[in-house]
Amino acid sequence: MSDSRELEAPPSSWGARILRRLAPGAYAARRRAELEVRQADFAHRTWGEVERSFGRGGFQGASKEHGSSAWSPGGSDADGDLLDDLPALRERTRDLARNDPQVGGLLEGWVDGILGTGLVPQPDLDLDELQITREEARRYARAIHHIVMRRFWPRVDSANLLTFGEFQALTLYSVFENGEALYVMRPQAERKPYSTRVACYEPDQLMDPTDWSGPPYLMRDGVELSDAGEHVAYHIRRAHPGNVQAGELAQQSVRVPAVDGSGRPLVVHAYRHRRIGQSRGIPRLHAAVRTFRNLQQYVDAELVGAKVAAAFALFITTQDPQGMAAAAAAASNRTGKREEFIKPGSIRYLGPGEKVETGNPGRANPNFKAFLEAGQRVGYGAVRMPYEVASCDFSKTTYTSGRMALILCQAGYQIWQNWVGLDICQPIYERLLEEAFLLGELRVPKFLERFHAWTRARWQGPARPYVDPEKEIGASVTAIENCLGTIADECAARNQYWEDVLEQRALEEARKRELKIPAAAPKGTPPGAPPGSAQDGEDQPQPEEVPSAEA
């Protein structure tokens, strides 16, 4: 804390000493004013030290010191912070996905890891709620599985182009690049075997209508809200606003209600909510757009520098200025500017008075690989992808670290699988089963009265890869034997339906008996021993103990 004796410091300048001798009154008034200023400054500095000592304003992240004085991002609600920047975020993310191999590979690996060939529904029927027997539940589940996988899966969109798996991948691509997926239920009676179809739209087509006359706060970038914040309708442009060939269609909007008359979803607008009141989705790469853009430019600069360093050229001086003028004219572009290129092994002619000056590109850069890897780790971390998985580089990993990377990745995949299944696939699944029931193909009791019970399902993703198959399969067997897991759970982790597995196993075992193929010996059986015999007399019946005479 500052010393209070500085308030009584004597006059230090020669002018103050002369004034004190010649005009004591004026000197005293000046001295009082100086003391008041010193007191105010002393109090200000003392209070600042007290605040720091007692921790007032305890969030250092809000401090204006240490270069943070210009960091004032402002604050608004979720849509206020997002909607103005959303078009640029979408366009930049899509550009990176198209042209940056790092982001392109990340996107492909992310979608493939979550979906594989597509999430598959496994009916989750509650016997007590539906009042059915286990055998009936099994029969109904098989019928539902046949309807979805055999009859509906091949084509699901209104353009008749996409399988159900391809549709899921398309929506997840849109979530990564645009932050959201948008599709509308569009039944088509001429489609067989089911009229259930979906029409996919780019999120760019969801825009404010030009003729909106309601309150501005109830229209958020094409999403019409109720007073309670519910999404009641969507205003979708007939064509993409960037389609110059569409003409006036790109300016015409169609209002589509969020639900139909029966309360079923008519429009599915799927995105991850990060803030209260958020009306649109945020691109998955939003926090790493600048990082990947800078890395892309850095890699391009390094490649250009390496190409220049690798190019070897010969330069020849000539005394023919007319010939050089003609060559220069031939090497000029339409604006008359001369273009020069250096190619590996090229021979260049110089005119009189011309000379060559080259810079030293300093390539190859010994820090290139380390710097690029550090930047990639930052970018991949922004989307919660381990570097080893995103880059497909396991050269520096051990068994433990590699397995941990895969486990972390699988945990993230599972979260997204649940989200895609419930938010994107489930509405289509419910529509399909309702239509199958109305057509008489799904014959179940009280379907409409217990609609949600009949349409409940678990959406299963691709099989989990093995790192060490022997250990992991052994762990699964141990878990089942000790009632810590079920065959259904383990089959689901392998993207298999447990009843299909058991039925196929029963067929195989029956066929083996027909062909008189001996059963496989259990683990631990010594070579040459018949199947079922144990090693070292284990589990062999022991002779009864003969009681002694004393007993």
| Predicted local distance difference test score (pLDDT) of residue 526 | 65
Tokens standing for 213?
């006359």
Per-residue pLDDT reduced to its tens digit, 216-239: 999 999 999 999 999 999 999 999
Tell me whether strands 347-350 and 314-317 are parallel, antiparallel or unpaired.
parallel
Locate 377 and state its tokens: 């780790």
14-22 vs 24-54: helix crossing angle, rounded to 10: 130
- Residue 451 confidence (pLDDT): 94
Residue with tokens 């606003």: 241
Two structure tokens written together for 31: 């001295």
Non-local CB neighbours of 19 within 8 Å, separated by 6+ positions = 26, 27, 30
436 DSSP β-pair partners = none
348 strand-pairing partners: 315
Round to whole Å and give the CA distance between 232 and 260: 11
Where do the DSSP E strands lie in 326-450? 347-350
Strands 219-220, 198-201: pairing is: unpaired
Q: Which residues contact 408 (CB under 8 A, 6 or more apart)?
A: 386
Q: What is the pLDDT of residue 3?
A: 47
**pLDDT band (50, 70, 90) for residue 70:** confident
Local confidence band at 4 (pLDDT 50, 70, 90 cut-offs): very low
Six-digit token string for 541: 């019946």
Q: Retrieve residue 276's tokens.
A: 């209260």
Mean pLDDT of 185-211: 93
CA contacts within 13 A on the Cβ side of 53:
7
Determine what percent of the chain is predicted with pLDDT higher than 70.
Answer: 79
Single pTM value for the model: 0.75
Half-sphere exposure (Cβ direction) of 354: Cα atoms closer than 13 Å: 16
pLDDT, residue 318, reads 60
Cβ-count burial of 73 within 10 angstroms (0-12 exposed, 13-18 middle, 19+ buried)? exposed
Are 128 and 83 in contact by the 8 Å Cβ rule? The answer is no
Name the band, by pLDDT with cuts 50, 70 and 90, for residue 28: confident
Domain locations along the chain: 4-49, 79-285, 289-354+363-382, 463-517
**pLDDT at residue 298, rounded to an integer:** 92
Rounded-to-integer distance, Cα 221 and Cα 548, Å:
94
Nearest in space to 227 (alpha carbons), one of 236, 240, 218, 214 = 218
Q: What is the pLDDT of residue 1?
A: 45
Cα 301 to the center of its chain, rounded Å: 28
Q: Residue 180's pLDDT is what? A: 97
Cβ pair 519, 531 in contact under 8 A:
yes
Of residues 335 and 309, the one with the higher pLDDT is: 309
The rounded distance, in Å, linking the Cα atoms of 363 and 203 is 44
Mean pLDDT value of segment 512-516: 90
Q: At what angle do helices 101-115 and 289-310 cross, to 10 degrees?
A: 130
Q: Give the mean pLDDT of the chain.
A: 83
Q: For residue 547, what pLDDT is reported?
A: 46
Q: What's the rounded Cα separation, in Å, for the pair 318 and 352?
A: 6
Tell me what pLDDT residue 498 has.
Answer: 80
CA dist 194 and 166 (Å) reads: 18
- Which of these, 420, 343, 519, 365, lies nearest to 111 by C-alpha position? 420
The amino acid that residue 2 corresponds to is S
